[in-house]
Amino acid sequence: MEGTTPGKSFASSVGINPKSQNARESLTKLATRQVKVTDRMVDASHPFGQEIRARLARGERVTAGDLNKYVNKDVEDVAEAQLSDFVGAVHGQEKTLIGLGEEGKDLVKRTVDGAYQRIAGLTTDELSRNPYFSTIYRRSMERRIKAATSKQKGATLEISEDALRTMENAARKEGLQEVRWLMYDLAESSRFSDMVRMIMPFYNAWQEVLTRWAGLAYQNPVFASRMKDALTSNPDVDLGTLGAYETVQDADGNSFFQVRLPDFATGLLRKGLMQGAADDAGVIRFRTSSLNMITQGLPGFGPVAQLPASLLVQQAPELEDAMSFMLPYGPVELTDALPAYIKRTISATLQDDRSYQSMAAQIMVTKLADMANGKIDIIDFEDNATRAQFLKEIQDAAQGAMYVRAIGTAVSPASFNLHSPYQPYIDAYRKMKEEDSANADENFLNYLLDEGNEGFFALSMRQSKNMEGLPPTVWAEQQREIYEELIVKHPELGGLIIGVEGGGAAKFSSAIYNKQLGEETFPGSGVQRRERLSLDDMLTDSRVRAGWEAYGNLMDGIYGAMRIEGLPNLRVSEAAGVKAVRDRRLALIAEEFPLWYNEFSNPDTAKWADRIEGMREVVRIYEDPEDTRFDGREDIRQLGVYLEVRDAFAKSLAERKAGGGSGQLDARSNQDLAEMWDTWRLDWADNPAAGDLFFRWFEFDSIKQDTWTE
């Protein structure tokens, strides 16, 4: 081994020094261990094991590939075998230690033991609580030195080395004891915490903090009162170039410490990965309850408890409120088990989850609100290149914002998020959406009108669209189960069928929202009940909805003026003035919302035939005495009245066409019918139940021929 190059190489590879006195002994021990391991690993009773052992005895090298050749090998009088039939388990640690030899094994052992000793020695008391420990230690030493030298006079004090060591040990013990009493100590636990450690990972910390606060409050009630004042105060501090700090509440009453980033900070966030993240999300909010475990209420539940609870809520959404103590932010997903900073990083990288989509939507609505507010120029939304560049800027800013959130979540002691400067308006809309999803848009627009900020309607941008017209509420889901067959057949009429068109408030349910995202309208349809919108679709949808809301406000005023002046419709000569006002205002709306005007001026008439047929089926069910699903529904009764009168006008148009005239309602020869039709519809719409139907479905009904009854 000493005289050949291969021998020296082998000795070096197994950690044996050939020149050492115990080299031969170490080599013998290595060989003995390898023989023992081989005896255990290769089964001598199996034919394949015997063959492998013979090859090893001849000094042949047997690799994993060689072993795999014996698997299912066709040999006479030998059954097909798997690897486990003739080769035992191989442990990675054992393989490593065998290869290293005695000296290597001792080195590994010393390294592992040293690492654990280092980790155990540097306790959390000394690592993270050093400032508090140092304060207690210094005060204790000052007190002890003063007591020990109280009878000495002069500038120089004498203390023996033994006395000094005794005081240092006593002060150190006092400091560690105080730290353990005040701060969280991993060594403290209870039997109950051991029982719930899987479902409440932080119960120990919560229990200790609770007992410490109770002790502090008992010893010094003034201290506890001051801490309460600090957490519940509402200071508004303007620090000039350093930004601003204030305490705010969202629409649900949750308190936040809010910080507006100063100019120099937003400038820094324009560099590298951040890509201007703070330009449109330059407000940081820290949830005040997250600053102290006691203010959060119960200790947080872990994924082991939250994932089954989320599945339960998905199956039984009516339990969502009852499970809110465990799921305060709604049902969780499997990825929620990851640390928050990892989730944010993945979100910023992949750019395809709800968190990234929400951030991108928030940045986009902020930019649209800035346009309405005159802070930035309005872009040409009809120009595809301009719109594409606008969306690219939003995507880059959203990615940067997610990186900021990832970094902040990793280092911040409290949960925080980036928000829009218009967050109070966004919170107000979300609150309206939760309380009355069906009428949230109208309520929000009225709120903005009262505030004098109607241009901020873009803040109500939606990120998904229900393909059945149903809001994500428990009530709507329960009604869908009653009318499921009818809704599957006529998905566009879902809102009409369950009755949401007639108004009525119902609370938003995140469980129903997630359920709609994950289910098809019917098995195999390929269309989800709720579809996510792309950024471009969100932008288009926002502008179109804003246009329709503006048009709705215009027509509310026009119809009010017609009633005051006693005008039956806008086709009579007496209505020329009102019609001119409508046309001028309509032109202004078309100029401001060109995407809406494209939809307004080019309605999709292809859907009218299916829509009217679906409505006829709904009325037939209402009139069937044996089917009670629509009993008591005044809106469905009014729908039947409308269809009956509509059929009468359709019959008149059919007779005129058969006589050689036109079957189009807007033809000059049918002006008399058109005036009567408009007059009757406006009178009919005065009924509260009919008015919702008229403005939702029938305002542009021109009785096309493909909707006539045969």
Residue-by-residue DSSP string for 21-77: TTHHHHHHHHHHHHHHHHHHHB-TTSHHHHHHHHHHHTT----HHHHHTTTT--BTT
Helix or strand or coil: residue 96? helix
The verdict on 668 and 617 lying in the same domain is: yes
Give me the count of residues in the chain. 710
Q: pLDDT averaged over the chain?
A: 76
Q: Does some domain include residue 155?
A: no
Give 404's contacts (C-beta < 8 A, 6+ positions apart): 269, 274, 277, 278, 418
Q: Is the pLDDT confidence value at 486 over 50?
A: yes
| 227-to-136, 206, 212, 257 alpha-carbon distances in Å | 21, 18, 14, 15
Q: Which amino acid is at 106?
A: D
The pLDDT of residue 617:
93
The pLDDT of residue 46:
78
Which residue, 237, 332, 253, is CA-closest to 287?
253
Q: Does some domain include residue 298?
A: no
3-state secondary structure 179-233: HHHHCCCCCCCCHHHHHCCCCCCCHHHHHHHHHHHHHHHHHCHHHHHHHHHHHHC
Helix or strand or coil: residue 410? helix
Q: Does some domain include residue 262?
A: yes
The verdict on 451 and 466 lying in the same domain is: no
Instruction: Give residue 613's pLDDT band: very low, low, confident or very high (50, 70, 90).
Output: very high
| 674-to-569, 641, 652, 685, 702 alpha-carbon distances in Å | 10, 18, 11, 16, 9
Q: Does some domain include residue 188?
A: no
The pLDDT of residue 242:
43
Instruction: Give residue 615's pLDDT band: very low, low, confident or very high (50, 70, 90).
Output: very high
The pLDDT of residue 548:
84
Query: Could you report the per-residue pLDDT of 263-278, keeping only the tens digit for each?
Result: 545 554 555 554 555 4
The verdict on 219 and 249 lying in the same domain is: no
Give 461's contacts (C-beta < 8 A, 6+ positions apart): 361, 364, 365, 368, 538, 541, 542
The verdict on 482 and 517 lying in the same domain is: yes
For 234-252, letters b (16+ CB in 10 Å) and e give eeeeeeeeebeeebbebbe
The pLDDT of residue 622:
92
β pairing state of 283-287 and 416-419:
antiparallel
Is the alpha carbon torsion for 70, 73, 75, 81 positive or negative?
positive
Q: Is the pLDDT confidence value at 172 over 70?
A: yes
Q: Does some domain include residue 271?
A: yes
Distance between terminal CA atoms of the chain? 105
Partners of 284 in the β-ladder: 259, 418
The verdict on 488 and 588 lying in the same domain is: no
3-state secondary structure 222-247: HHHHHHHHHHHCCCEEECHHHCEEEE
Q: What angle do CA 608, 612, 614 make, to 5 degrees?
A: 120
Q: Is the pLDDT confidence value at 441 over 50?
A: yes
Of 119, 141, 171, which residue constitutes the final position of a domain? 119
Instruction: Give residue 637's pLDDT band: very low, low, confident or very high (50, 70, 90).
Output: very high
What angle do the packed helices 576-592 and 594-601 form, to 10 degrees?
130
The verdict on 330 and 356 lying in the same domain is: yes
Instruction: Give residue 303's pLDDT band: very low, low, confident or very high (50, 70, 90).
Output: confident
Instruction: Give residue 241's pLDDT band: very low, low, confident or very high (50, 70, 90).
Output: very low
Query: Could you report the per-residue pLDDT of 543-587, keeping only the tens digit for each?
Result: 888 888 888 888 888 888 888 888 888 888 888 999 999 999 999
Q: Does some domain include residue 297?
A: no
Q: Is the pLDDT confidence value at 97 over 70?
A: no
Q: Is the pLDDT confidence value at 98 over 50?
A: no
The pLDDT of residue 677:
92
Residue with tokens 């005023």, as numbered in its chain: 557
Q: Is the pLDDT confidence value at 469 over 60?
A: yes
The verdict on 242 and 376 lying in the same domain is: yes
Which domain, by its residues, includes 519?
462-528
Q: Is the pLDDT confidence value at 500 over 50?
A: yes
The pLDDT of residue 621:
93
Q: How far apart are CA 420 and CA 280, in angstroms?
A: 6
Of 460, 478, 507, which residue constitutes the final position of a domain? 460
Phi, psi dihedral angles at 169 (to 5 degrees): -65, -40
Q: Does some domain include residue 299?
A: no
Which residue, 687, 619, 633, is CA-closest to 498?
633
Q: How far apart are CA 515 and CA 478, in angstroms?
A: 13
| Count of the separate structural domains present in the chain | 8
The verdict on 523 and 572 lying in the same domain is: no
The verdict on 637 and 499 lying in the same domain is: no
3-state secondary structure 341-376: HHHHHHHHHHCCCHHHHHHHHHHHHHHHHHHHHCCC
Of 528, 549, 577, which residue constitutes the final position of a domain? 528
Instruction: Report the share of the chain in percent with pLDDT over 70.
Output: 71
The arithmetic mean of pLDDT across residues 378-399, rounded, is: 84
Rounded-to-10 torsion of CA 568, 570, 575, 581:
140
The verdict on 169 and 314 lying in the same domain is: no
Which residue, 465, 515, 461, 514, is CA-closest to 494?
465
User: Which of 54-58, 154-158, 285-289, 522-526 ranks highest by mean pLDDT?
Assistant: 522-526
Q: Does some domain include residue 513?
A: yes
Counting Cβ atoms within 10 Å, is residue 655 exposed (0-12), middle (13-18) or buried (19+)? exposed
Q: Which amino acid is at 475?
A: W
Query: Could you report the per-residue pLDDT of 418-427, keeping only the tens digit for each?
Result: 667 777 777 7
Q: How far apart are CA 426 and CA 245, in angstroms?
A: 20
The verdict on 577 and 447 lying in the same domain is: no
Helix or strand or coil: residue 255? strand
Q: From edge to edge, which strands make up the β-sheet containing 416-419?
A: 236-238, 244-249, 255-260, 283-287, 416-419
The verdict on 396 and 467 lying in the same domain is: no
31-35, 153-157, 627-631, 644-648 — which is least confidently predicted? 153-157
